[in-house]
Structure 1
């Protein structure tokens, strides 16, 4: 109430002043009072209205600063991520290159292994073909009848052999073999010589006639079938014709160092010793 009254009083006083001396005041100052009032009212209005704008401006500035900081942080973050991504990409490229090299090496190894297996397969196929050919040959070949050596005769490589247990001269031994359908043994190979040697018992001087002599001409040894000796299995220093020794015999003693292929000697043909006969095996 007092405020309204003060305001009315002031306005009345101002009106009165205008009425009393308004002309001179207006002439000196023009419409300044009226503009002042209006200006004062406008300033107060602007001040009243500018308060929220200042707050908004401050908030907007703070928001911009925060946004700028966020953008900077994001830039740093993405830059770091880009570097990491580049490193990962480089590592990935290096790893891929290593894996590619390993893969190429594995492929080369597999190709070489495949080639080796192909060659092995060819070899096995050849062996299979050979086995098939042998099988076909065996199937078409007649089965031989079992050979037979009668009584005390022993078989070896198509022949039967008889080893006597008593002694006779070389000539009488040959006649005995002939009566049995054979002859004194003719020995051509080391295998045959070894076979007979293994049949003989060991002793002090176990000796056996076989079918060779040089009665016709000293030093020219012939088999009982008329063929000439080639080679032979003489002991070192034999034959020596020590005392008119024209017939050959095999010796096997208790000395273990003696061998089958060095066991022939020459001796007088009338000496009585065991003998070895040979004849073809029956089929």
Structure 2
């Protein structure tokens, strides 16, 4: 082997020995870089996850605060509504009590007034003609009843459910009705179609009430000779 071959072999070994370690170091550096990048990614993911958790926690807290506030607001509103409702009930109960008291007072006043008006009224036991009825009343210190107000008409119609004579007639002058005290007829409570002076003989007036009727207009003219009970008034 000549000197040139030996020199080339030595040079070749030097190149092999020098290149091998450099390649190994390069690979190690790449591995370190990858590990470093992996660590950075892990840290970044951890930070992002932490931020998400914090945001989620903040959202839960805010939502809880909002729900609590809304619940308190609804509770206060409900409480106020209940209080107003109770106050309204109390006022209605108070008003109802006052109305019932007033009703009882009015009822008592009406009963007292009605009794006073009834004190002078009485009805005959038997049926008679109009003239006989008037004599019956006058013999007892009164006369046939005069009805000159709606109140009196309602009272008599509600109490006497019979066909009875009243103190109204046009015997003296046909078509000119007068009361037994010669006062003119102002308030009128004729039944429909009355007075009609049927056959020219109906000169006296009755109340034509019935047990099933409470109508206000119930006067009827008929012949004075008809037999009816009568209402007298002192």
Distance 1:168 1:126 in 2: 53
The aligned residue for residue 176 of structure 2 is 220
Map 1:82-231 to 2 at 5 A: 82-111=51-80, 114=83, 158-160=117-119, 161-187=121-147, 188=149, 189=151, 190-198=153-161, 200=162, 207-231=163-187
Q: 1:181 to 1:81 in 2, by over 3 A?
A: farther
Contact preservation (8 Å) 1:208, 1:275:
yes
Distance 2:75 2:144 in 1: 72
The aligned residue for residue 228 of structure 2 is 274
Distance 1:263 1:167 in 2: 19
Q: Which stretch of structure 1 is more off in the superposition, 88-97 or 184-193?
A: 184-193
TM-aligned CA deviation for residue 212 of structure 1: 0.9
Residue correspondences, number: 186
Q: TM-score, normalised by structure 1?
A: 0.49
| Higher Rg of the two aligned structures | 1
Distance 1:119 1:276 in 2: 54
Contact preservation (8 Å) 1:245, 1:268:
yes
Extract unaligned runs of 5+ from structure 2.
1-34
TM-aligned CA deviation for residue 195 of structure 1: 1.7
Q: SS of the counterpart of 1:103?
A: helix
Is 1:239 aligned to residue 195 of structure 2? yes
Q: TM-score, normalised by structure 2?
A: 0.57
Q: SS of the counterpart of 1:158?
A: helix
Q: 1:121 to 1:229 in 2, by over 3 A?
A: same
Distance 1:262 1:170 in 2: 20
Distance 2:217 2:58 in 1: 86
Q: SS of the counterpart of 2:216?
A: helix
Extract unaligned runs of 5+ from structure 1.
1-64, 148-154, 201-206
Q: SS of the counterpart of 2:168?
A: strand
Q: 1:126 to 1:159 in 2, by over 3 A?
A: closer
Distance 1:211 1:227 in 2: 11
Q: Tell me how large the CA RMSD over aligned residues is.
A: 4.2
Distance 1:86 1:79 in 2: 10
The aligned residue for residue 263 of structure 1 is 218
Q: SS of the counterpart of 1:261?
A: coil
Q: 1:164 to 1:118 in 2, by over 3 A?
A: closer
